[in-house]
Amino acid sequence: MTISSTRKPCASVIVVGGGISGLAAARHIAMEGYKVIVIEARDRLGGRVHTHKYDTDGNMVDLGASFVHGVVGNPLVKIAKKLDMRLRTLHPVRRAIDHNGRALDDDLQDKIAKNVLQAFFYDTPKRAQASDKIPSSDIPLSQPMFEPSSSLFAGLKDPLEAFYARAVMKEFDGWTGAALEDVSFRWWGFDRETDGPDAFVSSGYGKIIDWLEAEILEHGGEIHLNEEVLNVEAVGALGIEASHTIVTTARATYEAPYTLVTIPLGVLKSKPELFSPPLPPRRQAAISRLGFGLLNKVILKYEEAWWPRCDEYLFLPDPANPGGLTLPRGGTGDKAVFVLDLWALTGTPALLLFVGADDGEVLETFGDEEIKTWAEGLVVQYLMPQKGIEVPPASSVIVTRWKSDPYALGSYSYIPKARPGEEACTPLDMVELSMPVWDRIFFAGEHTEREWFASVHGAWASGQREGQKLIGLLGGMNED
Q: 459, 449 in Cβ contact below 8 A?
A: yes
**Over the chain, what is the mean pLDDT?**
92
For residue 4, say whether it is annotated as part of any ligand binding site: no
Residue 229, H or E segment: strand 229-235
Q: Is the pLDDT of residue 331 over 60?
A: no
State in Å, rounded, how far the first CA of the chain is from the last one.
38
Q: Which domains does the chain have, with CATH numbers?
A: 6-53+205-288+427-479 (3.50.50.60), 92-196+295-399 (3.90.660.10)
C-alpha distances (whole Å) from 1 to each of 36, 164, 228, 232, 276 are 28, 56, 15, 15, 14
Please name the residues in contact with 413: beta carbons below 8 A apart, sequence gap of 6 or more: 177, 265, 290, 291, 292, 293, 430, 446, 447, 453, 454
Query: Strands (DSSP E) along 282-346, which ranges?
Result: 291-292, 295-301, 312-315, 337-341
Is 229 part of any known ligand binding site? Answer: yes
Confidence band, pLDDT 50/70/90 cuts, at residue 239: low
Q: What is the pLDDT of residue 9?
A: 52
Which pLDDT belongs to residue 361?
A: 93
**What's the confidence (pLDDT) of residue 320?**
84
pLDDT value at 418 more than 90: yes
Q: Which residue has the higher pLDDT, 319 or 415?
A: 415
pLDDT at 4: 42
Any binding-site annotation on 40?
A: yes
432 is in an annotated binding site: no
Query: How far, in Å, CA of 44 to CA of 50, rounded?
Result: 9
> Which one has a higher pLDDT value, 38 or 422?
38
Report the pLDDT value the prediction gives residue 289, as an integer from 0 to 100.
97
The pair phi, psi for residue 170, each rounded to 5°, is: -65, -30
In this predicted structure, what is the pLDDT of residue 2? Answer: 37
Alpha helices, DSSP H only, in 320-413?
342-345, 357-363, 368-383
d(C-alpha 273, C-alpha 271), whole Å? 5
Using CA atoms, how far apart are residues 348 and 62, in angstroms rounded to an integer? 12
pLDDT at 343: 95
Q: Does the annotation flag 146 for ligand binding?
A: no
pLDDT mean over 113-138: 93
Quote the DSSP letter at residue 193.
P
Q: In the chain, pLDDT over 70 holds for what percent of residues? A: 93
Return the SS3 of 293: coil
Query: Three-state SS string across 46-61, please?
Result: ECCCCEEECCCCCCEE
- Is the dihedral angle over the CA atoms 191, 47, 461, 205 positive or is it negative? negative
Tell me the per-residue pLDDT of 333-359, one tens digit each, with 9 for 90 and over: 689 999 999 999 999 999 999 999 999
Which of 255-259, 320-324, 326-330 is least confident?
326-330
